[in-house]
A and B are shown apart, each in its own frame.
Chain A
């Protein structure tokens, strides 16, 4: 099967407007007859379900949480990018497009990224109109801040809770459509299969997590907005329930998986404290705006950070990357932290951490405040206290979170941070219309692969989720559904539904009847360790081959020895988790296979065999300027298809932040 990305012809900055001008439309009377299923209610899912409901489609939305408001987009902290150029600092749609393609290390599809940059400005307008309380300046206008990988201030934010505010905006729009009867909401439901009829996606099998029963749901189209798969590593900044199951079921039903090995390891997370750890907590990248990252110049220096004099500190990001300093992109910052720790310069009890220090920023802000109030001879204590208030207003909730977890006060002692799995750029392969290789099956937001290449820039995930849901899918879905107006709703007694439901039930029965000796959690931890050690921040052919063998063995062991308590037809979180871990195990194998195939370093994917003399990632554009789209062949593994990437505008060069 040849991949067709369906990129519109014409100049880059005209493609989207031309597409919109010529796309097929569905008239309002016909929209009422068309049913759309949306799986997941994060930024992508909630915005898509709300917008499609507003247009008049009959929407069914599903989430596994007890309310759509709890999807993990809620936890995004730092902000959302948009090319508004409100700061008059040289931003434009082109700059945002350029930064994103470059930031993604030239492994994203240019046309998708350009569209993303174009619609970014409408997102901010829409959110403000919904009552999203973004940060403002005293003049009443919106405030912006900087983020990694850019030299302009284009990030809109609501303290360190931007994701929460945007999601609550989308959630309120969704609930409004629920009240109007345009969307029917299914909370505590998990999608366990896609139903295909004559090659097209026609519905899903979902399980009601309260009573354990499986249900059949018809839709003329199915939208997967089910997020990323970072939890394959067990420890990540994802929520405990975040999982790959919906995307994986789609993959097994024919949707190709794009660039599965592209994982984002975020540089600033609270380090692991012990074996009991169940998740990792992010400290927003926005902290790198003002914080300075350092380690001692002397190996194994056990002094308290306050006792290490300035000249004995190595501000290694500022030293290695003077142009961007502490604001280099995430992949670069993470690798630099790992390099220092691997060399023995790490800090804290585990020595797997670096300092993120706010002392200079507090004093700098303090002096500004003192100047404003005419306190020319203020002492250090006064300056510190004035500066602390400024930092508190900008980052207060993050500092509080750090203190709750570690018991240390980050205003007084530098934070200890270390990289952690945060986001997955890979996902279901989609064309320009966000359609997967299964007609009628779409993937939006983090669940697709399309916009971030091999590394996502900060504050771009929220932008992409909302772009896909508010401003892309309402157009592209119509182009498909315009040909479906003669398809009447298919009764779920159809044999395709009956068979899919039987398969789902059989698998649940198989799982619960293994009655082995090892818990689901123990398997998940073992998978996570294999993935982190061998398919994490540094990867090698040898390690990946080992990992594949280990994962295959783990899969066998899981299916013969997992122990799941309780029954199927009841509220049983262990059974839910078992199904997800079983899918993660299969995904883990594919990620290693993909990482093995890609014998180059790019973005977050670092192959030890492919680095420059000074240890930077070395891309190989001659051989790897493609999207790896994997087709599932069941018991026979996977077949690789390649979508060649053509860069018309942003010509690939060695990415430099020096």
Chain B
């Protein structure tokens, strides 16, 4: 792989805090290596700003290996930037070329208020999990792990749904600000496993109710969420969420 260096123009969203109004500011960075990650390019810019006596850009990041779900940049109109099935921290500068202009914004959604610059508040996701994204089994209550065999196909599908990193790209990219992919992934994981069966109905009803309360929008089947999801979570999980929701609603009426 041929390595190269580039000069770039960055237009970055700056916003002091939740209350204040933000705007795009323009910065130049020079001599960026194609081997750097996108966030390492931001490190260079921030070091430059600090030395110049300016305030560095606040952005969320932690593991820098695509699994913690903390990084969250909207790059050139795409959540996590141009690469498919990829987080911002895994995006590398070889995706860009010398002279490019890159626009970087925070996740934008009513349910994710901006904290500062590119940092948003995603605690609404935690509250959705609190509403039912678990199996009620206290420590010590479990039977032997091999007591209940699970069809490998179901286990694999549950795993694929459980791979969600809770980053919120699905919400950020959705024109309705819908969290259906996030909620669908958790509901699917637990609905596919026998352990999730006892709370199957209350779980989906409670999680959807919380999702609505947080101000997330509805799903209109654009599939942008699947296209932008860094973990490739399938929209089939939204279909399963809908079916679980309808079934639970009907059986609830019977009661």
Contacts and interface: CB of A to CB of B under 8 A. Distances in A.
Contact of A519 (B39, B47, B137): B47
B154 to A, nearest CB: 9
Given A133-B162, A179-B131, A239 B63 contact: yes
Interface residues of B, number: 79
Most chain A CB atoms below 10 A, which of B49, B53, B65, B189:
B65
Interface in B1-50: 1, 17, 33, 35-37, 39-40, 43-44, 47, 49-50
Interface string B43-81: 110010111011110101111111111100000000000
B67 A74 contact: yes
Contacts of A570: 17, 116
A136 B131 CA distance: 29
Contacts of B33: 274, 276
A571 B115 contact: yes
B63 A74 contact: yes
B180 to A, nearest CB: 19
A564 B139 CA distance: 44
B99 interface: no
B190 interface: yes
Contacts, number: 219
B216 to A, nearest CB: 16
B82 interface: no
B157 to A, nearest CB: 9
A126 B139 contact: yes
Contacts of B240: none
A178 B58 CA distance: 29
Nearest to B196: A131
Contacts of B193: 131, 133
A512 to B, nearest CB: 13
A279 interface: yes
21 contacts: A47-B139, A70-B166, A74-B63, A75-B65, A84-B145, A126-B140, A128-B142, A130-B137, A133-B159, A137-B152, A140-B150, A172-B129, A172-B135, A175-B129, A178-B130, A210-B115, A274-B33, A401-B65, A405-B90, A565-B56, A566-B55
B134 A142 contact: no
A321 to B, nearest CB: 29
Interface of A: 47, 50-51, 54, 65-70, 72, 74-75, 84, 86, 122, 124-131, 133-142, 158-159, 161, 163-165, 168, 171-173, 175-176, 178-179, 185, 187, 210, 239-241, 273-274, 276-279, 281-282, 400-401, 404-408, 470-471, 474, 519, 521-522, 563, 565-566, 570-571, 573-574
B87 to A, nearest CB: 9
Contact of B159 (A122, A159, A282, A406): A159
B193 to A, nearest CB: 5
B158 A129 contact: no
B139 A51 contact: yes
A401 B68 CA distance: 14
A133 B155 contact: yes
Contacts of B65: 75, 279, 281-282, 401
A131 B90 contact: no
Given A125-B145, A128-B145, A519-B50, A66 B134 contact: no
Contacts of B131: 179
Nearest to A48: B139
Given A131-B134, A278-B40, 4 more contacts: A161-B67, A405-B37, A470-B140, A574-B56
Contact of B166 (A51, A69, A274, A407): A69
Contacts of A276: 33, 35-36, 40, 43-44
Contacts of B146: 84, 86, 141-142
Query: Closest 9 CB pairs between A and B?
Result: A140-B149, A172-B134, A129-B142, A133-B159, A125-B142, A179-B130, A407-B1, A128-B145, A133-B158
B133 A140 contact: no
Contact of B152 (A54, A72, A140, A168): A140
Contact of A406 (B1, B51, B58, B139): B1
A521 B122 CA distance: 27
Given A129-B142, A276-B33, A407-B1, A519 B51 contact: yes
B165 to A, nearest CB: 8
A74 B68 CA distance: 6
A65 B70 CA distance: 8
Contacts of A161: 67, 163
Nearest to B57: A573
Nearest to A67: B126
A579 to B, nearest CB: 16
A127 B140 CA distance: 10
Contacts of B254: none
B138 interface: yes
A240 B196 contact: no
Nearest to A566: B55
A175 B139 contact: no
A546 B61 CA distance: 35
Contacts of B145: 84, 124-125, 127-128, 134, 142
B75 to A, nearest CB: 15
Given A67-B166, A69-B166, A563 B50 contact: yes
B245 interface: no
B86 interface: yes
B192 to A, nearest CB: 8
Most chain B CB atoms below 10 A, which of A126, A131, A176, A519:
A131
Interface in B79-109: 83, 85-86, 90, 92, 94
A4 B119 CA distance: 47
B187 to A, nearest CB: 11
B144 interface: yes
B70 A70 contact: yes
A427 to B, nearest CB: 21
Contacts of A407: 1, 92, 94
A70 B68 contact: yes
Contacts of B83: 404
